[in-house]
Amino acid sequence: MSSSTRIDDTLRERIISQPDVILEDQDLMRALIAANERAMGSNIVDLRGIAMDRLEARLDRLEDTHRSVIAAAYDNLAGTNQVHRAILRMLDPGEFETFLRDLGGEVAHILRVDAIRLVLESVQNDEDPAVKRLGDVLSVAEPGFIERYLTGGRGAPQRQVTLRQVNDSDNRLYGEEAGYIRSEACLRLDFGEDRLPGMLVMGAEDPHQFSQQQGTDLLTFFAGVFERSMRRWLA
């Protein structure tokens, strides 16, 4: 005759009065299921238990995916607000010089980048006094420089926005900050017919701030607004 251990009456009454306490405790439920499987013996396969384990694993994966989707949505919303604020700030100035200074100041701060440079191709040299005054933001280069910078001489660039990590930044663009830049976003600019192209470069010290795996929709939108603003100044 087998004997069984009787649980404490107080605990038994509490379980009977509040069975949800057990059902909501995952560790306790696992322990009860394991005890039930041991009681059935090794010759019996509990298909229901196997199915429950698989459903539980699937639920865990769905919850992880759900959290990832929510986190990505928040990041996208924050990025959208960031770009919108930068664009509004960019549209404020009434003078071109102020526009460029804000670009390297407040706009760069809003976008959380360490450097912004506007590259304009020109057949003239960069000895213009205005260019020298704005040298920390504006750079004038010879025709073809932008294509070479984006592709390294391996054909024409196919995308308007290029995100990449860099090891040796171009001193001509970043000046003294070149040694600290580890990733960049390059935005090709079209100023219209009979005008040479331009490029807006955003540099970051964080090597993971810009990478090829990231989306470019927001920066493409920013580049489109910037192009239209520049056409107004160049008219």
Coil vs helix vs strand at 36: helix
- Is residue 175 one of the residues assigned to a domain? yes
Residue bearing the bigger pLDDT, 218 or 173: 218
Position 132 in a domain: yes
Reported confidence tier of residue 2, pLDDT bands at 50, 70, 90: very low
Considering the domain boundaries, does residue 44 fall inside one? Answer: no
Cβ(220)–Cβ(160) below 8 Å: yes
- The number of distinct structural domains making up the chain is 1
Give a yes or no: residue 85 inside a domain.
Answer: no
What is the pLDDT, as a whole number, of residue 69?
Answer: 76
Q: Is residue 130 part of a domain?
A: yes
Task: Return the CATH number at 222.
Answer: 3.30.450.40
For residue 181, give its domain range: 94-234
Q: Flag whether 170 is in a domain.
A: yes
DSSP 159-213: -SEEEEE-SS--HHHHGGGGGG--EEEEEEE---TTS--EEEEEEESSTTSS-TT
Largest interatomic CA distance in the chain = 105
Q: What pLDDT does residue 13 have?
A: 80
Q: Count Cβ atoms below 10 Å from residue 209 Cβ, excluding itself.
A: 19
Per-residue confidence (pLDDT) for residue 158, from 0 to 100:
67
Residue 154: CB atoms within 10 Å: 9
Which of 36-40, 54-58, 105-109 comes out lowest in average pLDDT? 36-40
**Residue 165 within any structural domain of the chain:** yes
**pLDDT computed for residue 29 by the predictor:** 74
- pLDDT one-digit tens code per residue, 77-129: 778 888 999 999 988 888 888 888 888 889 999 999 999 999 988 877 555 55
Q: What is the DSSP letter of 5?
A: P
Binning pLDDT at 50, 70 and 90, where does residue 130 land? low
pLDDT of residue 38: 67
Between 195 and 156, name the one with better pLDDT. 195
What are the C-alpha distances in Å from 99 to residues 16, 94, 186, 198, 231? Answer: 73, 7, 19, 16, 13
Res 131: pLDDT? 56
Rounded Cα gap, residues 128 and 126, in angstroms: 5
Q: Is the pLDDT of residue 50 over 50?
A: yes
The beta-strand segments (E) located in the chain are 115-121, 138-141, 161-165, 183-189, 198-204
CA 9, chain centre distance (Å): 58
Asked if residues 125 and 140 have their Cβ atoms less than 8 Å apart, the reply is yes
User: Side chain identity at 204, as an amino acid letter?
Assistant: A
Q: Would you say residue 35 lies in a domain?
A: no
DSSP 119: E
Q: List the 198-204 sheet strands across, edge first.
A: 138-141, 115-121, 198-204, 183-189, 161-165
DSSP state letter for 114:
S
Query: For residue range 3-14, what is the model confidence (pLDDT) as tens digits?
Result: 456 677 787 787
Contact 81, 73 (CB under 8 A): no
pLDDT at 1 over 50: no
- Summarised one tens digit per residue, pLDDT across range 176-233 is 788 889 999 999 999 888 888 899 999 999 999 998 888 888 999 999 999 998 888 8
Q: Which residue has the higher pLDDT, 82 or 135?
A: 82
Q: Which residue has the higher pLDDT, 61 or 84?
A: 84
